[in-house]
Structure 1
Amino acid sequence: MVSQSVLYVAVPISVVVAISLVRKWRSRNWAKCASNTCLRGKTFLITGASSGIGMETAKALVYRKARVILACRDMDKAKEIVADIRKKQPRGGELIPIHLDLSSLDSIEKFVEVIKAGFNKIDVLINNAGVYAPLKQDLKTKDGFEIHFGVNYLGHFHLTNLLLDHLRRATPSRIVIVSSTLHEKGQINFDDLNLKAEIEEAKRGKSSRHNPGYCNSKLMNYYHMKALTERLGGSGIDVNACCPGFCNTGLFRNTIRWYHYILMAPVCLLYMRSAKQGSETVVYCASDYRIEGVTGRFYRDCSEYDSSHTIDKDVEKKLWEVSEELVKARKPIPIV
């Protein structure tokens, strides 16, 4: 008869081994960017490149000899990342950290002035940076917009528009918008883009399974991709969006508590990708030669993904117009 002490050891080990095998089996379905084409002479601009998926994307592109502009809010961290990448890849492409705070429209404009002064063209713009924060914190950008709307969507909207001439000079060029399949859970309410109603509910202790601020901003990213595709048709600038998957990055640092690590451990072990695994689809959209000339698509696991969200052309047009008005006015839509 097996002793209890042996069971106490054998059962946990068996569980760990089983979970590891299941994770390994699942990870086989997580695609990798197969293209290793040399990118020497091409300039890539990545927002939020000092950590997570943006950092891993930068590493992959530098390995392929690209010049990479790391657009980051935390310059000290960005310089540390540059030093670390250069130490591991001394013969890779060039790394250039430049300050960019997507929560400030003024910072975006100053950043673009630096780009215009130092670079003649941008081959690929990767709109990667993003925030995820509890709605009850009621965080705002420096211009007064709800944080998810202002950073994840509106900041990138303004940045992209300001860099279009640089992208045109590099044609064939690309814009890659990092969205999420959570865009399918989003809604766009033009009467409350700053989510006053949802924030008040969150402050009263009511919350939904999915953060509406984050989901809505990712839906706006999806609409942004579609709108750019139409407006840039025939220009030589390809525009695509992608979902990196559920990844182990610092995105959820403002929402995770110590007990979440215990409760979510099985789910994370089975479903959560590393930042490097998450970056594969971003790198694919940004560099794979096989999709040159392909535009207006959504990708996941390095292949096309059919979104369940049906694009409403009226919403697409209105979102663009409202976004332009907000950038010009420098103030959030009044709440009624």
Structure 2
Amino acid sequence: MASSSSSEGKNEEREPATSKLKKERLGWMEWLRGWFYLAYEMLFQRIMASHLQNPMPLPPLNDLTCIITGSTSGIGRETARQLAESGAHVVMAVRNTKAAHDQIKKWQDEWSGRGLPLNIEVMELDLLSLASVVRFSKTWNARSGPLHVLINNAGIFSIGEPQKFSKDGYEEHMQVNHLAPALLSVLLLPSLIRGSPSRIVNVNSIMHQVGFVDTEDMNVVSGKRKFTSLVGYSSSKLAQVMFSNVLHKKLPGEAGISVVCVSPGIVQTNVARDLPKIVQAAYRLIPYFIFTAEEGSRSSLFAATDPQIPEYCEMLKADEWPVSAFISQECRPTNPSEEAYNVETCFKVWEKTLELVGLPLDAVERLLQGEDITCKYGAHEKKI
């Protein structure tokens, strides 16, 4: 697998970002560039991904155990189905367990006679509750079995809705799209180490290109920026990339864990239900440009199964900059936004995230050494 640009080229792009004074928002050129990328991807994504088969062919995955969040609809549902049909043990980590069991029954009926029954199970996980993330992680780690792939797929984009906060006190986009997946990724490190070589796949978005993260105001309540659902969503997706950059750097090669962010492209999923009527009409009028959920799942499946991903991630570890792999909707390495390369902000996002989810700053190092850690959202539980 070859990167779309050289390491030296990336360094040249990132160099100015580290010397900037404290920013309160994206510059207009950065903002304009981000929207250009978004428009370009929407118009040309199908052409750029024309070399991909649909559905994406997968090798036999009988020895793989995969946890997938948000797998009852959209991209996550397609990802879970295809991994299971290829033989993987799939764990649907979802809030609505009844919907997951109903989906499994439907899949098993459709699969009947084509091979062994699909190896799928359901576990409850509510990303709007950090305590639920802790309980899920504790339950899974207690099995003392391997985890080969964690796919942080679940996400929300509450278009046009007023600002909402979880019961933990965090803006909902930031919690569901970034804080909860970050906590889950860290707490499941013991199982991922047992499953080494293993992977953490974060389903991101081209919308991170227009995002900006203020680590002193991640809830967007200070008034420095007006909150909109677009601000909440794009900021959370950029925060996820920045956190992934540092996590990737902190995981030593011998841990055998690859961290990958993927863009599924512009996909027709359940988020369209929340779009304004006129935008929903546009979705129906331009089906050629919009990916189906099956097409949108290809980058996740590629990142989860392609044999060259670990080698590519290891190559990035040699870079002095904290950069994780980013796979485009056409299943090729690409660069995230310029802001995602702001090293100072990346480390601030890392520290602030651990603080918000109630983990010690040395949580990763301690887990890698086999030590126990305690999360404040699971303080009444036993240690992880």
- Give your verdict on TM over 0.5: yes
Which residue in the other structure is 2:354 paired with?
324
- In the alignment, is residue 79 of structure 1 matched against residue 109 of structure 2? no
Aligned-partner Cα distance in 1 for 2:198–2:57:
17
Question: Contact 1:138–1:199 (CA<8 Å) still a contact in 2?
Answer: no
Of 273, 279, 302, which aligns to 2:291? 273
1:226-284 alpha-carbon deviations (Å, 9 max, x no partner):
1111011312111111000111111242x324443334433x32321100000011000
1:69 paired to 2:91 = yes
> Structure 1 residues 136 and 165 mapped into 2: Cα distance closer, same or farther (>3 Å)?
same
CA distance in 1, matches of 2:176, 2:46: 36
CA contact (8 A) 1:229 1:238 kept: yes
Q: Secondary structure at the match of 1:316?
A: helix
Aligned ranges 1:1-336 → 2 under 5 Å: 26=47, 29=50, 31-32=52-53, 35-90=57-112, 91=116, 93-118=118-143, 120-134=145-159, 136-196=161-221, 201=226, 211-234=230-253, 235-253=255-273, 255-266=274-285, 268-295=286-313, 296-300=324-328, 301-310=330-339, 311-328=341-358
* Partners of 1:136 and 1:62 in 2: CA distance: 35
SS, match of residue 248 in structure 1: coil
TM-superposed deviation, 1:70: 0.3
CA separation in 2, counterparts of 1:180 and 1:25? 16
In 1, the alpha carbon distance for the partners of 2:298 and 2:62 equals 19
Deviates more, 1:24-33 or 1:55-64: 24-33
Cα offset, 1:92, TM superposition: 5.1
Kept in 2, the 8 Å contact 1:71–1:100? The answer is: yes
Provide Cα deviations, 1:110-152, integer angstroms capped at 9, x if missing partner.
1112212335110000011000114652111120100011110
Per the alignment, in what secondary structure is the counterpart of residue 302 of structure 1?
Answer: coil
Count of paired positions: 302
Instruction: Return closer, same or farther for 1:63/1:136 CA change in 2, 3 Å cut-off.
Output: closer
Q: Distance in 2 between matches of 1:75 and 1:233?
A: 36
Deviation at 1:82, TM superposition (A): 1.0
Instruction: Note the aligned Cα RMSD (angstroms).
Output: 2.5
Gaps of 5+ in 1: 1-21, 332-336
Q: Is the 8 A contact 1:40 1:66 kept in 2?
A: yes
Answer with 1 or 2: which has the greater Rg.
1
What is the identity percentage for the equivalent residue pairs of Structure 1 and Structure 2? 29
Check whether the contact 1:131–1:152 (CA below 8 A) recurs between aligned residues.
yes
Rounded to whole Å, the distance in 1 between the matches of 2:57 and 2:277 is 39
Distance 1:25 1:190 in 2: 36
The 10-residue stretch of structure 1 (94-103 or 127-136) with the greater mean CA deviation from structure 2: 127-136
The one-letter code sitting in structure 2 at the alignment partner of 1:299 is I
The 2-side partners of 1:65 and 1:169 are apart by: 20
Identify if the C-alpha distance between structure 1 residues 111 and 88 changes in structure 2 by more than 3 Å, giving closer, same or farther: same
CA distance in 2, matches of 1:146, 1:306: 27
SS of residue matched to 1:46: strand
Report how far residue 65 of structure 1 moved.
Answer: 0.1
Structure 2: which 5+ residue stretches go unaligned?
1-42, 314-323, 360-375, 378-384
TM-score under structure 1 length normalisation: 0.83
Do the aligned residues in 1 keep the contact of 2:46 with 2:291 (CA within 8 Å)? no
Tell me the distance in 1 between the aligned counterparts of 2:283 and 2:272. Answer: 13
Q: Point out 4+ residue stretches in structure 1 off by more than 6 angstroms.
A: 22-25
Provide the rounded CA distance (Å) in 1 between the counterparts of 2:224 and 2:110.
44
8 Å contact 1:177–1:242 — kept in the other structure?
A: yes
Q: Say whether the 8 Å CA contact 1:120–1:166 is kept in structure 2.
A: yes
Contact 2:258–2:309 under 8 Å retained in 1? no
CA–CA distance in 1 between the matches of 2:225 and 2:161? 7
Query: Cα–Cα, structure 1 residues 326 and 25, in superposed 2: closer, same or farther, change >3 Å?
Result: closer
Check the 8 A contact 1:66/1:92 in 2, yes or no.
no
Partner of 2:151, secondary structure, is strand
Partners of 1:71 and 1:105 lie apart in 2 by 14
109-118 vs 36-45, greater mean Cα deviation: 109-118
